Structure 1
């Protein structure tokens, strides 16, 4: 975290001589060009497209790869072998109806820069015949890949050096098909600093350290969509395009549940500032300014905390907005213990383009220390469910012929004119001793990948060296490093030992006394397990930090104390709240400790204990569906979000005695004014889900949110399915009422 980060800059050839000067780099925002309200939709070459892109003074954009080398790229990841893997959704929206979208024609390619100039020279199809690949996570010489609709995960490996995977291994078997719309499924898996693998949606995390997947259920993780990132401490940042929320879940780690605070970003942060008219926005006129530009985040995705060392943007959050043809740069500020986001360029964006086909869908920190941008480069960006007949988007797509612009894609990198990208150093073949040096590398890509490899190798000979790093032994001054933050080296060494199952209580307690707050916070997180086991020695060390001078350490202390159910743990939380009455984050966290608020699922079980087991089961399942799918638009309380979606509480459609009305809405969706109000989107149909799914969500919404009757999976389900099986358009209120 930047609030406690201290740099000790060591120049090559001057061993252990520090320099505290901080260089100021050119970073002046561009002058906005004249906005074209209704732009032409013409393909441009990569070079022509780059001419339309505007960046702050001092920054430049370079082409890394483009068609025909890649097509329809959605996510990228560097392997520790130095190669760049690219997931390509070759069937995504190839026409306005998404014909053949679910055919196994997509792929993962591997790109190579053979001459080290930063531009890819060779592309090889690593895995072919995939269905819309969405999860891409290199391990060592293996790559985890997840496909759309498939809950199982596989690792792939190339054993003969031809860049074509020849070994496929099942590492997580989940035979039940995921029938959710592809925008509502898990994507963007990352290996976090705590050695758990997190996904962008669903309250699950995975651990892969012994060649098999361990699964852990999180109590109340945020529900994001496409994109997941973390800062140097492992704090996760989610986003939700469906809920038009550019960033969420970053006040506390999701292992402790979700915490959203008022004032989590500066006023007006949700407003975006394109330099091109955006007629193809799902919300229609509601989401447009008078000049035709998008007025609010509506498709945030592929966000990343930049942890590279060759841009003056370390620790900033970059958020692509493909509908607005822009990338936001947000400053991540820590104000009295609260994490607050601020647009780095008021009423302007970091990167914006006047090319209507520019569709940034992901950003990543590269091993060269620069920022990478994945551009799907296409006309239509919304999935077909949102472009059906009756939607605002369909006539726009038809008029602009957006669906004809397909089959291309670009990858760019952002560089700074006063800094030089570093040469990629593959890590896969390095010794364990060499990898340990990289745990303190100024580029976070090397730190996390070195840690990952050390954990996967589990080389016991590394343990004494790692212990020495944590306890403050004499550090190596790696010849590759021009600057080194040794506290980050201790931080990653500590987590590496955790991943190797090589920690003891003495080492954890020692780390709690580290001079750097980041290490103390990590030690507190790790101590959760010892607190659960009622380890008195660790508990004494934990409670000794209640007077720590850094507020974020106190917050982590409160979270760690949740692992103890003792009276003393509650008393400490109460004391922290009493002595920090002006700190709203500490107050909110401590109240959860003191009041022991039960999980929502446990509350539901108690509330409906007298209901028949089948009804209770539907309520519990319906809650999970509502949280993962519906709450982004309707809010967790079901009372709607202003301008986005109406309330479900008291809705005459939800409470209709005739179950066919809400069932038809679930199956085919709803558009148009609702009770005299216009909303920015449509309710999408979900008839691909089975009858039990329909019964579960309807029972939760009707019985729990409205005190109406439950719905069984047998009630009119097949009758309604047959009635609407050939219907592709949304319902309107008027049409729905006539049909019943």
Structure 2
């Protein structure tokens, strides 16, 4: 038997070498500092792209089929939804942007050649739609300036939505310019849906929607993506940061480590002059007239498809619309820390000499290819940065960029040696049939199958899912198969979690899985038992402190933040002592220590029974309180000591001014308070009336929530503000308590 196995191993070595694919970088053209800005036809524009040898870019859709596209997503049958911002910067001043005339299109490829043949207006009369998430036969949509989530459905199969239901409501209007608002709506591996610029996450199942809060809130700008383990990659054009927040899953908090962006990574390599950059030539351009630093990063994507060379799997593709390029980043694990490197030396994966090429999103497609959304337009800066006196305005007018509007293209990138996959057909499949797709080599299929199984809520698949979690590789599958069995086990475990089945015996078994990724998943899923102080789980976890994979140890440090027991704290302390020199583990230990003493978690527990709207207002008010009120009133709202038997400000717990008539608290917040309170002198309570009604209402709601009484609505603040509009002086207690 040993002899036979040796022969087989020899065959493996001889026959199973990985195929080498072409990937040689292109020869750059001579830089033209002032290239013409004329519109090009899609066919002409295709000739302006530069890609590594072997790669090819193909047109999927263009105007008039799509106009001003900003985001795409596919349903389970491969129909493509396209969000269009039809009013975005239609002139240099950006007038009329808020008009409700934007659309979401539904595109179909009828003959399977990869090009879209049919376009219908799925939804019209929208205000700059910015987030779309297909569920089953429903599409979740968010518009600019709103936090609401709407579900749309086409009930008669004519390609037009005829059912509209609000599934999440937050009456607060999002202020600020449209560049600094939510994006994403990504269904994560952990079955929660994440966005940027929002301290909340959402969970959909057959019973509706749940809402939860993030410990550190959420930042990011335009674009959000995830890797195979659910780490989220954020970006910030305003912060000129190509990627951040990716070291740990966002539910634990935000960790960014020095050196996670390699030296030189932030320097882009355009192949055409980029005069239209905010900040001007002296600050933002190299000597050759090209962009000297990432400034417009948007719509990044971890490529998880199976129809490009395997070396691209797990790479981060980052569109840079100002530079007219897309960066390909390799992600290297350096002792647990993920570090980004440019895949090419002083070059970009894709670059164009067409000044109207404006890539704003990259996506892994159902066919395993990489898709690119191109707004194809002149101006790519919001009106706040194109006003009179700005660096951009004269460049825009000189080059006529303000006239280049109303178009758009969608491309896919393929490799000449790999044929793209066909159209999916998942919507009509049973949950049992969908389970087979959890091991698909294309991450789009795995994620979509997991999502659809959970939305169906069919518990009959639980035994099959448990069987998959135990499906370890045999000698044959390990050496001859191309299936990643551990990845399939991970999806099966999370699908069970999404169905509400977290089996303690299965978790204990998977903590000893042969693959570290599965062990990490089992650790995360053990958190529900950690919260309850389960000693069996804690003892099993303790054995992983010595795990050979540092990523397993790091996940253990993160998950121990859910343990409230002395043994759990001791284990966390032991990890801190043993791995204190590892910067990622050290950062994760700090997060867990923070979680163990989380006022936010206490607050979430306290308001768990309240409506989603009340939860949002309370948590937002908590953030305001921490920033503005905590230095005088203290983290526990009981006042900060100021020597013996005195406080800087009075306690807000049990105060009649807080738990009594709401009007009293609102008046104090608007105009301030002076004079003695219950016989004691305090400093003046400064007026907060310069803040808007939402601000006042939310912080008042938080303070009253900590006293277990009712919320304050913004309309109540508005009415009281109007009634006392002439008052400019502080209130006194005597006046308020008449």
TM category (shorter chain) comes to 0.7 to 0.9
SS at match of 1:258: coil
**CA separation of 1:561 and 1:87: change in aligned 2, threshold 3 A:** same
CA offset at residue 622 of structure 1? 7.6
Change (3 A) 1:420 1:175: same
Please say which of residues 465-474 and 429-438 is displaced more in the overlay: 465-474
Say whether residues 1:180 and 2:176 are aligned partners. Answer: yes
Q: Does 1:125 align with 2:134?
A: no
Corresponding position of 1:560: 559
Contact 1:180-1:689 within 8 A present in 2 as well: no
Q: Quote the Cα distance in structure 2 between the aligned partners of 1:136 and 1:17.
A: 46
Partner of 1:297: 294
Match in the other structure for 2:97: 101
Per-residue deviation, 1:158? 0.9
Aligned mates of 2:125, 2:595 — CA distance in 1: 49
Q: CA deviation at 1:602?
A: 10
Q: Pick from 21, 43, 58: which aligns with 1:62?
A: 58
Is the contact made by 1:622 and 1:696 (CA closer than 8 Å) also made in structure 2?
A: no
The Cα shift of 1:28 comes to 0.6
Q: CA separation in 1, counterparts of 2:141 and 2:535?
A: 43
Secondary structure of the residue aligned to 1:587 is: helix
Structure 1: gaps (5+ residues): 1-15, 605-615, 626-687, 698-712, 719-740
TM-fit CA distance, 1:386: 1.4
Q: For 1:242 and 1:303, how far apart are their aligned partners in 2?
A: 15
Alignment correspondent of 1:171:
167
Inter-CA distance 689–428: structure 2 relative to 1 (3 Å threshold): farther
Q: Is the partner of 2:445 in helix, strand or coil? A: helix
Q: 1:287 aligns with which of 267, 284, 288?
A: 284
In structure 2, relative to structure 1, the CA distance for the partners of 1:536 and 1:598 (3 Å cut) is closer
Change (3 A) 1:465 1:182: same
Cα offsets for 1:243-267 (capped at 9, x unmatched): 1111010011111111110010210
Q: Which is bigger in relative contact order (C-alpha 8 A, separation at least 6)?
A: 1
Q: How many residues align?
A: 611
TM-aligned CA deviation for residue 327 of structure 1: 0.4
CA gap 1:393/1:559 in 2 versus in 1, 3 angstroms = same
Verify the 8 A CA contact 1:201 1:223 in the aligned structure 2: yes
- Per the alignment, residue 704 of structure 1 pairs with none
Is the CA contact 2:130–2:142 (under 8 Å) kept in the aligned structure 1? yes
CA contact 1:570–1:593 (8 Å) conserved in 2:
no
2:472/2:485 contact within 8 Å kept: no
- 8 Å Cα contact 1:106/1:130 also seen in 2: yes
The residue that corresponds to 1:90 in the other structure is: 86
Provide Cα deviations, 1:628-667, integer angstroms capped at 9, x if missing partner: xxxxxxxxxxxxxxxxxxxxxxxxxxxxxxxxxxxxxxxx
Q: 1:90, 1:353 → 2: CA distance?
A: 24
- The reply on whether 1:340 has 2:343 as its aligned counterpart is no
2:624 paired residue number: 621
3-state SS of the aligned residue for 1:242? coil
Supply the distance in 2 between the matched residues of 1:153 and 1:489 (Cα, whole angstroms).
31
Quote the residue 1:396 is aligned against.
395
Distance 1:162 1:624 in 2: 51
State the shift of 1:565 in Å: 2.7
Alpha-carbon offset, residue 516 of structure 1: 1.2
Q: 1:115 aligns with which of 111, 126, 138?
A: 111
Alignment of 1:166-315 (within 5 A): 166-285=162-281, 286-312=283-309, 313-315=312-314
Q: For residues 152-551 of structure 1, what are the structure 2 equivalents within 5 Å? A: 152-285=148-281, 286-312=283-309, 313-472=312-471, 483-551=482-550
Q: Which runs of 5+ in 2 are unaligned?
A: 1-11, 604-618, 629-689, 700-716, 723-738
Are the aligned partners of 1:197 and 1:207 in contact in 2 as well (CA < 8 Å)? yes
Q: 1:194 to 1:596 in 2, by over 3 A?
A: closer
Alpha-carbon shift at residue 401 of structure 1 (Å) = 1.4
The answer for the alignment partner of 1:703 in structure 2 is: none
Q: Classify the secondary structure of the residue corresponding to 1:342.
A: strand
Measure how far apart 1:587 and its partner are.
2.2
Name the CA shift for 1:624/1:274 in 2 (closer, same or farther; >3 Å). farther
Q: Cα–Cα, structure 1 residues 262 and 76, in superposed 2: closer, same or farther, change >3 Å?
A: same
1:335-391 deviation digits (Å, cap 9, x = unpaired): 100000000012111111110000000000001111000000000011111111121
**Structure 1 match to 2:132:** 136
Instruction: Judge conservation of contact 2:93–2:383 (CA < 8 Å) in 1.
Output: yes
Tell me what 1:25 maps to. 21
**Which deviates further from its counterpart, 395-404 or 451-460?**
395-404
Show the counterpart of 2:659.
none
Give the CA RMSD over aligned residues: 2.9
- Offset of residue 188 of structure 1: 1.4
Aligned with 1:436: secondary structure?
A: helix
Deviation at 1:589, TM superposition (A): 2.1
Q: CA deviation at 1:135?
A: 0.7
Partner of 2:707: none
DSSP-derived class of the 2:537 partner: helix
The reply to whether residue 74 of structure 1 matches residue 63 of structure 2 is no
Contact kept, 8 Å, 2:473 with 2:485, in 1: the verdict is: no
CA distance in 2, matches of 1:441, 1:420: 17
Secondary structure of the equivalent of 2:439? coil
Mapped contact 2:216–2:253 kept (Cα < 8 A): yes
| Distance change in 2, residues 1:622/1:99 (3 Å) | farther
Distance in 2 of aligned mates of 1:494 and 1:157: 30
- 1:489 deviates by 1.2
1:495 and 1:524 map into 2 onto residues whose CA distance is: 12
1:147-196 deviation digits (Å, cap 9, x = unpaired): 11121111111112111111111111112222232111111111011100
Q: CA deviation at 1:211?
A: 4.2
- For the Cα contact (< 8 Å) 1:156–1:166, is it kept in 2? yes
* Counterpart-to-counterpart distance in 2, 1:152 and 1:131: 12
Runs (4 or more) in structure 1 with deviation over 6 Å come to 16-19, 600-604, 616-619, 622-625, 694-697
CA drift at 1:572: 2.0
Output the TM-score relative to the length of structure 1: 0.78
Q: CA deviation at 1:64?
A: 0.3
Query: Highest CA radius of gyration, 1 or 2?
Result: 2
Shift of 1:281: 0.7
Range with bigger deviation, 302-311 or 93-102: 93-102
SS in 2 for 1:189: strand
* Cα pair 2:233 2:245 within 8 Å, conserved: yes
- Matched position secondary structure for 1:467: helix
Write the distance in 1 (CA, Å) between the matches of 2:458 and 2:563.
Answer: 33
169-178 or 296-305, which deviates more: 169-178
